Amino acid sequence: MSQLPPNPTIETLTSEMVAKTIDHALLKPDMTIDEVVEGCRLCAKYETASVCVKPCDIKLAATVLKGSSVCVGTVIGFPHGNSLPEVKVFEALKAIDDGAVELDMVLNIGHLKSGRTDEVYEEIRSLTRAAKERLPSCCIKVIFECALLTDEEKITACRLAEDAGADYVKTSTGFVGGATIGDLQLMRAHTDPSKTHVKASGGIRSLDYLIECLQAGADRIGASATATIVEEMRARKAALSS
């Protein structure tokens, strides 16, 4: 995770800091192999925090990014979170074996909304435990899909994810709604910043909105407009210094 200044602004951030907040998303269902390779090379160029690819593309991403500072991440139970818990665990371990070091798992949204919190907790806990036994440095992010949840359900999800040992809570997949400032503030207010980070994902296409998300409590940003955002940051920093 990048070291960010308090209340980050254009003046206090650098383009390198901005890039290191970004998980560059390569998750569109029709994305070709060539597009995945191009996206990974873009991540290496800008030195993003990570690339987030579909499970079928992990080995390819790990090969392209070998020797770079960019982490390889993937999604688990994506995009709706409906896989059985043991299937999610298998998917997580296979992802690690293929080269992923960050896992963004979708929790079981329907079970959360049904009040089956023990099951949701156990699913997150079992995946987190298995992944960290396989790879102690593995980073686990739990996707809520906030657009489908009430505020009370979001708060419950924060508690469950933190208690289960997840590293991040995450707003959304990007396929249903997106990151809102209100959701980020709520998630930051109901997690311990010394234990749990917050990831904003969905609809973050400009530098200004990325910075708003950071100010609202996000530590990591899921985005596909990485080049636009980082180049805008470079241009604005250059304008400030001229």
Which residues are designated catalytic?
Answer: 170, 199
- CA dist 69 and 174 (Å) reads 25
Supply 63's token pair. Answer: 């090969």
Adjacent-strand bridge partners of 142 = 105, 169
**46 with 19: CB under 8 angstroms?**
yes
